[in-house]
Structure 1
Amino acid sequence: MVIIPLLFLLLLPVFLLFFVPKWRKSKGIRHPPGPPGLPFIGNLHQLDNSDLQRYLWQLSKKYGPIMSLRLGFVPALVISSAKMAKEVLKTHDLAFCSRPALFGQQKLSHNGLDVALSPYNDYWREMRKICTLHLFSSRRVQSARPIREDEVSRMIQNISQLANSGRLTNLSETLMTLTSTIICRVAFGRRYDGEGHESRRFHKLLHECEAVMASFYVSDYFPLMGWFDKLTGMCARLEKNFEGMDLFYQELIDEHLNPNRPESMKDDFIEILLQLEKDGLSSIHLTSNHIKALLMNILLGGTDTSASAVVWTMMELVKHPAVMKKAQEEVRKLIGNRGKVDEDDLQNLPYLTAVIKEGLRLHPPAPLLVPRETIDRCVIEGYEIKPKTLVYVNAWAVGRDPESWENPEEYVPERFLDSSIDFKGQDFQLIPFGAGRRGCPGVLIGITTVKLVLSNLLYSFDWELPDGMKIEDIDEAPMPGITVHKKNALCLLARVYRCHERYLWQLSKKYGPIMSLRLGFVPTLVISSAKLAKEVLKTNDLAFCSRPALLGQQKLSYNGLDVALSPYNDYWREMRKICTLHLFSSRRVQSARPIRQDEVSRMIQNISQLSNSRKVTNLSETLMILTSTIVFRVAFGKRYDEEGHESRRFHKLLHECQAVMASFYVSDHFPLMGWFDKLTGSFARLEKNFEDMDLIDCYLTSNHIKALLMNILLGGTDTSASSVVWTMMELVKHPIVMKKAQEEVRKLIGNRGKVDEDDVRNLPYLKALIMEGLRLHPPVPLLVPRETIDRCVIEGYEIKPKTLVYVNAWAIGRDPESWENPEEYVPERFLNSIIDFKGKDFQLIPFGGGRRGCPGIVMGTTTVELVLSNLLYSFDWELPDGMKIEDIDAAPMPGITVHKKNALCLLARVHKFHEVE
Structure 2
Amino acid sequence: MIKALGDKIYLTVITFSSWWPEVDNEQDKLARIIVAIFVPAFLVVLYKWMLYNTKWARSSLPPGPYGLPIVGYLPFFGSNVHEIFATMGQKYGPIFSLRLGSKLHVVVNSSDVVKIVARDMDQNFANRSPPLTAATITYGGIDIVWSNSDKNWKNMRKILVSQVLSNTNLNTCFRTREIRKVVNEVYNKLGEKININQIAFNTTQNAITNMLWGNTKSGYNANEFLDVKFKILELLGAPNISDFFPMLSWFDLQGINREMQKQFEYVDRIFNSIIEEKNKVNDKIDGTFGEDETKDYLQILLDLVYQKNDPTTFNMIHIKALLLNIVIGATDNTSTTVEWVMAEILNNPDVMKKVQEELTDVIGLNNIVEESHLSKLTYLDAVIKETFRLHPPNPLLLHRSPVESCIVAGHTIPNGTVVYINVFAIMRDPNNWENPLEFKPERFLNNKWDYNGNNFKFLPFGSGRRICPGIAVGEKMLINILASLLHSFDWTLPKDEDFELSDEFGLVLKKKKPLIVIPSQRLSSVSLYN
TM tier relative to shorter chain: 0.7 to 0.9
Partner secondary structure for residue 519 of structure 2: strand
Distance 2:481 2:272 in 1: 31
Distance 1:901 1:119 in 2: 49
Distance 1:265 1:365 in 2: 35
- The CA deviation string for residues 531-566 of structure 1, in whole angstroms up to 9 with x for no partner, is xxxxxxxxxxxxxxxxxxxxxxxxxxxxxxxxxxxx
Opposite residue 15 of structure 1, the aligned amino acid is A
Structure 1 residue 227: Cα displacement = 4.1
1:444 aligns to 2:467 (yes or no): no
Distance 2:100 2:447 in 1: 39
- Residue 236 of structure 1 is aligned with which of 249, 258, 270? 258
- Residue 329 of structure 2 is aligned with which of 287, 292, 301? 301
Opposite residue 143 of structure 1, the aligned amino acid is T
Equivalent pair of 2:89/2:109 in contact (CA under 8 Å): yes
1:246 aligns to 2:276 (yes or no): no
Distance 1:38 1:69 in 2: 11
Partner of 1:35: 65
Equivalent pair of 2:96/2:106 in contact (CA under 8 Å): yes
Partner secondary structure for residue 518 of structure 2: strand
Partner of 2:281: 259
Q: After the TM superposition, which residues 166-177 of structure 1 pair with which residues of structure 2 at under 5 Å, given as runs?
A: 166-177=191-202
Partner of 2:428: 400
1:491 aligns to 2:519 (yes or no): no
Structure 1 residue 97: Cα displacement = 0.8
Partner secondary structure for residue 391 of structure 1: strand
Structure 1 residue 397: Cα displacement = 1.3
Equivalent pair of 2:504/2:511 in contact (CA under 8 Å): yes
Opposite residue 160 of structure 1, the aligned amino acid is Y
Distance 1:126 1:197 in 2: 30
- Residue 482 of structure 1 is aligned with which of 501, 504, 507? 507
1:376 aligns to 2:404 (yes or no): yes
Structure 1 residue 202: Cα displacement = 1.1
CA distance 1:265–1:41, shift in 2 (3 Å): farther
Opposite residue 308 of structure 2, the aligned amino acid is G
Partner of 1:180: 205
Opposite residue 288 of structure 1, the aligned amino acid is M
1:159 aligns to 2:186 (yes or no): yes
Higher relative contact order at CA 8 Å, sep ≥6: structure 1 or structure 2? 2
Q: Percent identity?
A: 33
Structure 1 residue 284: Cα displacement = 4.6
Partner secondary structure for residue 444 of structure 1: helix
Opposite residue 260 of structure 2, the aligned amino acid is L
Equivalent pair of 1:189/1:265 in contact (CA under 8 Å): no
Partner secondary structure for residue 384 of structure 1: strand
CA distance 1:126–1:488, shift in 2 (3 Å): same
1:47 aligns to 2:77 (yes or no): yes
Distance 2:529 2:313 in 1: 53
Q: After the TM superposition, which residues 439-478 of structure 1 pair with which residues of structure 2 at under 5 Å, given as runs?
A: 439-469=467-497, 473-478=498-503
Partner of 1:207: 230
Structure 1 residue 188: Cα displacement = 1.8
More off after superposition, 17-26 vs 478-487: 17-26
Partner of 1:128: 157
CA distance 1:283–1:57, shift in 2 (3 Å): farther
Q: After the TM superposition, which residues 93-112 of structure 1 pair with which residues of structure 2 at under 5 Å, given as runs?
A: 93-112=122-141
CA distance 1:378–1:341, shift in 2 (3 Å): same
Opposite residue 354 of structure 1, the aligned amino acid is A
Structure 1 residue 185: Cα displacement = 0.4
Distance 1:66 1:116 in 2: 24
Partner of 2:221: 198
Larger Rg: 1
- Residue 85 of structure 1 is aligned with which of 108, 111, 114? 114
Structure 1 residue 151: Cα displacement = 1.1
- The CA deviation string for residues 14-51 of structure 1, in whole angstroms up to 9 with x for no partner, is 334213444455532411111221111111122222x2
Opposite residue 271 of structure 2, the aligned amino acid is Y
Equivalent pair of 2:172/2:294 in contact (CA under 8 Å): no
Structure 1 residue 439: Cα displacement = 0.3
CA distance 1:282–1:124, shift in 2 (3 Å): farther
Opposite residue 357 of structure 2, the aligned amino acid is E
Partner of 1:19: 45
Distance 1:436 1:430 in 2: 13
Structure 1 residue 352: Cα displacement = 0.8
Aligned length: 485
Distance 1:446 1:425 in 2: 15
Equivalent pair of 1:276/1:282 in contact (CA under 8 Å): no
Opposite residue 219 of structure 1, the aligned amino acid is S
Opposite residue 478 of structure 1, the aligned amino acid is D
Equivalent pair of 1:218/1:228 in contact (CA under 8 Å): no
Structure 1 residue 283: Cα displacement = 8.7
Distance 1:222 1:170 in 2: 39
Distance 1:365 1:70 in 2: 25
Distance 2:317 2:406 in 1: 35
The gaps in structure 2 that reach 5 residues or longer are 1-33
Equivalent pair of 1:126/1:282 in contact (CA under 8 Å): no
Partner secondary structure for residue 491 of structure 2: strand
Structure 1 residue 238: Cα displacement = 1.4
Partner of 1:425: 453
Opposite residue 254 of structure 1, the aligned amino acid is E
Partner secondary structure for residue 474 of structure 2: helix
Partner of 1:68: 97
- Residue 221 of structure 1 is aligned with which of 226, 244, 247? 244
Opposite residue 91 of structure 2, the aligned amino acid is K
Distance 1:242 1:486 in 2: 27
The gaps in structure 1 that reach 5 residues or longer are 1-7, 500-891, 894-899, 904-917
Q: Using structure 1 for the length normalisation, give the TM-score.
A: 0.51
Opposite residue 279 of structure 1, the aligned amino acid is Q
Q: Using structure 2 for the length normalisation, give the TM-score.
A: 0.87
More off after superposition, 382-391 vs 29-38: 29-38
Opposite residue 74 of structure 2, the aligned amino acid is L
Opposite residue 70 of structure 1, the aligned amino acid is R
Q: After the TM superposition, which residues 509-908 of structure 1 pair with which residues of structure 2 at under 5 Å, given as runs?
A: 892-893=525-526
Equivalent pair of 2:220/2:270 in contact (CA under 8 Å): no
Distance 2:529 2:412 in 1: 66
Structure 1 residue 101: Cα displacement = 3.3
Partner secondary structure for residue 212 of structure 1: helix
- The CA deviation string for residues 261-310 of structure 1, in whole angstroms up to 9 with x for no partner, is 89999611211111111000789532221111111101011111111111
Partner of 1:594: none
Partner of 2:368: 340
